[in-house]
Amino acid sequence: MHYPMRGCMLVVMDAHATPEDIQAVCTVIEDMGLQANTMPGPTRTAIGITGNKGAIAEAARLKLMPGVRDVIRVTAPYKLVSREYREADTIIEINGVQIGGPSLVVMAGPCSVEGRKQLLTTAEAVKAAGATILRGGAFKPRTSPYSFQGMGEDGLKLLAEARELTGMPVITEVMDTEQVDLVAEYADILQLGARNMQNFALLKRVGRTRRPVMLKRGLSSTVKDWLLSAEYIMAEGNQAVILCERGIRTFDDHSRGTFDLSVVPVLRELTHLPIIVDPSHATGRWQSILPMARAGIASGADGLMIEVHPNPAEAWSDGEQSLLPERFVELMEQVERIADAMDRPIQGRTKAATV
């Protein structure tokens, strides 16, 4: 197997290393024909070395340089994704909305974009309740080929219009390498769906865009599979990756999936990437969304993805798990109390309270 990041190294600088020490190390790395990626952390700066195909012969030389505490090999199979590689949490900022920062983010909207009125009504409602990112599918991964497949570019145009009107960045799914340029033209965040988590061509392709990518966990994927998929995106140069737990397949069928919230603290240890949880797709039933959204925030996630529809009974997809706008308001009120206990304000609601 060709493994481009085999032997990935990290230069750990002293807490007291000067900017000149750091620069000198970077220069030596670049002189070796490799890339130096400087990552300031809360306690020290680390410099990741990429571009090497095997062990770095000159590692010993780096170890002797002023300000260098250690040169280590990143042991996790995923490198750029790992907490070893980057100590500080990754924070992704889009138009003033932060994902992975100290405050929480809520992404909400319909499963599918169905039309102008449906989308704009939902967008206004979720914004008023404190959502700061609008979701809506224009290309839909449906289990049956006879189900509604999404509005395509017309749906993307409506999302762009909703962004204009509300100021909310939009997230939407891209299912195919051939759609990437089109979707990236309209969307602020590219969503990679559960069914495409190991579509390696698509992972590499979105890795070459400059749009943040939210990677949903595959239906039967281990954490290692998931993080290696995130690594595919990052290895192409796109560092803005968000992970989204959306339920996995287990033996029980009391709900659509099993919402694996115990993965949140595990991911926190293994990776610096932001973590969003999606109780809508995980449980598949509107009655479970509110309690599991509370639990998701209590588990330490950086935010939520929630499906909301003005008339769930008539929704073209995922109606049974979509919340009425008034139920979404109730969800936000209850989640805010959990968020307070976690010392993590919800971004949209903080703004609402301070204007």
* Count of residues near ligand PEP by CB under 6 A: 9
Which residues are at the interface with Mn ion (CB under 5 A)?
A: 111, 318
CB of 288 to Mn ion, least distance (A): 15
- Is residue 151 within 8 A of residue 176, CB to CB? The reply is no
When CB distances are held under 5 to 8 angstroms depending on the partner's kind, the choice from Mn ion, ligand PEP, none that residue 194 binds is ligand PEP
Query: With respect to Mn ion, which residue has the nearer C-beta, 302 or 318?
Result: 318
CB of 314 to Mn ion, least distance (A): 15
Does residue number 111 form part of the binding site for ligand PEP (CB under 6 A)?
A: yes
Question: What is the rounded CA–CA span in Å between residue 327 and residue 285?
Answer: 13
Query: With respect to ligand PEP, which residue has the nearer C-beta, 79 or 281?
Result: 281
Residue nearest to Mn ion as judged by C-beta position:
111
CB of 280 to ligand PEP, least distance (A): 8
| Contacts to ligand PEP from residues 219-248, by CB under 6 A | 246
- Using the rule CB under 6 A, which residue among 48, 101, 109, 137 binds ligand PEP? 137
HEC profile of the chain: CCCCCCCCEEEEECCCCCHHHHHHHHHHHHHCCCEEEEEECCCCEEEEEECCCCCCCCHHHHHCCCCEEEEEECCCCCCCCECCCCCCCCCEEECCEEECCCCEEEEEECCECCCHHHHHHHHHHHHHHCCCEEECECCCCCCCCCCCCCCCHHHHHHHHHHHHHHCCCEEEECCCHHHHHHHHHHCCEEEECHHHCCCHHHHHHHHCCCCCEEEECCCCCCHHHHHHHHHHHHHCCCCCEEEEECCECCCCCCCCCECCCCHHHHHHHHECCCEEECHHHHHCCHHHHHHHHHHHHHCCCCEEEEEECCCHHHCCCCHHHCECHHHHHHHHHHHHHHHHHCCCCEHHHHHHHHC
Does residue number 289 form part of the binding site for ligand PEP (CB under 6 A)?
A: no
- Using the rule CB under 6 A, which residue among 127, 216, 309, 349 binds ligand PEP? 216
Select from 35-43, 120-128, 192-200, 322-330 the region that touches ligand PEP (CB under 6 A). Answer: 192-200
HEC profile of 78-140: CCCCECCCCCCCCCEEECCEEECCCCEEEEEECCECCCHHHHHHHHHHHHHHCCCEEECECCC
- Using the rule CB under 6 A, which residue among 193, 207, 296, 348 binds ligand PEP? 193
CB of 281 to ligand PEP, least distance (A): 4
Query: With respect to ligand PEP, which residue has the nearer C-beta, 205 or 246?
Result: 246
Query: With respect to ligand PEP, which residue has the nearer C-beta, 216 or 309?
Result: 216
Does residue number 215 form part of the binding site for ligand PEP (CB under 6 A)?
A: no
Strand partners, 264: none
CB of 186 to ligand PEP, least distance (A): 16
When CB distances are held under 5 to 8 angstroms depending on the partner's kind, the choice from Mn ion, ligand PEP, none that residue 211 binds is none
Select from 18-26, 51-59, 193-201, 294-302 the region that touches ligand PEP (CB under 6 A). Answer: 193-201
Select from 21-29, 189-197, 201-209, 345-353 the region that touches ligand PEP (CB under 6 A). Answer: 189-197
Question: What is the rounded CA–CA span in Å between residue 148 and residue 293?
Answer: 27
Between 245 and 284, how does the x/- string for binding to ligand PEP read (CB under 6 A)?
A: -x----------------------------------x---
- Using the rule CB under 6 A, which residue among 49, 81, 194, 230 binds ligand PEP? 194
- Contact footprint for ligand PEP (CB under 6 A): 111, 137, 141, 193-195, 216, 246, 281
